[in-house]
Amino acid sequence: MGDIKVQKSRHRMFTAELNFFGGSVDGSIPYHYVEEPPAGKLKENFKSHSQNVTIEDIRGREHGFDLDTHAFLPLQDVPTKVTPGFNDEEEIKQVYYPEIEKLILENVPGVKKAFIFDHTIRRSKPDSHRSPVFRVHIDQSIESTQQRIKLHLPDEAADLLKDRYRIINVWRPLNGPVQATPLALASGASVKPQVLTPIEHRYPTRTGQTVAVDYDPDLKWHYWSGMKNDEALLIKCSDSADVPGRGTPHSAFIDPRTPAGAPGRESIEVRVLVLG
């Protein structure tokens, strides 16, 4: 297996396996329980199936992508003052959240307000609460974005929903350069509405919505090889505007070129309501 270079990719195109939506097990509305399901209920009631896809490395041509077309944006030279490892939740909220808000305001055209509503740290360890997700998905639907605005900004919601609104995740590695379980992203402009299926995301007190993705050979897959700790991806989940890329399907995957013994990927994603 060849080394994965940070500065220059040796193999720009390669094939890897991704997991796609395979339908609900009984034909009912697909769902996933965030916590333990009620007695007699499955944790989730839908299947997945694997498919080989061609993935293109974007290393070296990061400036060829934008949020309105591709629904993701690679950013370099993204500093942080957070203690390495991101182990202090309070420090993340007090230090990293303002950094992310500034990043969004500087890099998303037209934005008037950025509101961070949560974050997730993923670590490839057996005892980790959250590990990389090996299933193609989009984190939020347009309906759940509207719900989030009403939930987190109730006094402003009516006015905010009259303007453009988006959810964008800010994803960065914590132990880069990333070698194992990197992130694959499909260009938003290649996504057909008919390949998207809403999934009920059932919390104890409310029901949100994520989006599952069927296999489609027309999806254009990318990844950013060897992501470093000072690099970040803006990953758009939803967009009320009629633009080519309204959201990007994404998934962790096994890179067949990963060196033996490569450390498991650790990453943080911050979820942001992007308003205006």
Question: How far, in whole angstroms, is CA 249 from its chain's centroid?
Answer: 8
Q: pLDDT for 39-51, tens place per residue?
A: 999 999 999 999 9
Q: Please report whether residue 1 resides in a domain.
A: no
Are 77 and 230 within 8 A, CB to CB?
yes
Residues 201-213 have a mean pLDDT of 96
Q: Is the dihedral of CA 23, 68, 190, 3 positive or negative?
A: negative
CA 213 – CA 194 distance, rounded (Å): 9
pLDDT at residue 2, as a whole number:
41
pTM for this predicted structure: 0.93
pLDDT at 1 over 90: no
DSSP 37-100: PPTT--SB-EEEEEEEEEEEE-TT-GGG--TTTTSEEEE------SPTT---HHHIIIIIHHHH
Residues 15-34 have a mean pLDDT of 96
CA 142 – CA 209 distance, rounded (Å): 9
Residues 201-226 have a mean pLDDT of 97
Model confidence band, residue 111 (pLDDT cutoffs 50, 70, 90): very high
Beta-ladder partners of 249: none
Average pLDDT value over all residues in the chain: 94
Q: pLDDT for 64-87, tens place per residue?
A: 999 999 999 999 999 999 999 999
Domain span including residue 101: 13-275
Q: Please report whether residue 212 resides in a domain.
A: yes
Q: Please report whether residue 132 resides in a domain.
A: yes
* Residue 274 phi, psi (nearest 5): -110, 115
Q: Please report whether residue 5 resides in a domain.
A: no
pLDDT at residue 128, as a whole number:
56
Secondary structure (H, E, C), 174-209: CCCCCCCCCEEEECHHHCCHHHEEEEEEECCCCEEE
Q: Is the dihedral of CA 171, 49, 128, 261 positive or negative?
A: negative
Q: pLDDT for 156-200, tens place per residue?
A: 999 999 999 999 999 999 999 999 999 999 999 999 999 999 999
Q: pLDDT for 215-245, tens place per residue?
A: 999 999 999 999 999 999 999 999 999 999 9
pLDDT at 10 over 70: no
Task: Give me the residue label for tokens 């740290």.
Answer: 121
Q: Is the dihedral of CA 19, 22, 26, 27 positive or negative?
A: positive
pLDDT at residue 191, as a whole number:
99
Beta-ladder partners of 123: 266
Q: Please report whether residue 3 resides in a domain.
A: no
Model confidence band, residue 129 (pLDDT cutoffs 50, 70, 90): low
Question: What's the CATH code of the domain at 60?
Answer: 2.60.120
pLDDT at residue 127, as a whole number:
60
Q: Please report whether residue 138 resides in a domain.
A: yes
Number of residues written out for the chain? 276
Are 145 and 167 within 8 A, CB to CB?
yes
Q: Report percent pLDDT > 70 for the chain.
A: 94
Q: Under DSSP, is residue 249 helix (H, G, I), strand (E, B) or coil?
A: coil
What's the domain count of the chain?
Answer: 1
HSE-CB of 270 using CA atoms within 13 angstroms: 26
pLDDT at residue 4, as a whole number:
41
Q: Please report whether residue 2 resides in a domain.
A: no
CA 204 – CA 206 distance, rounded (Å): 6
pLDDT at residue 131, as a whole number:
77
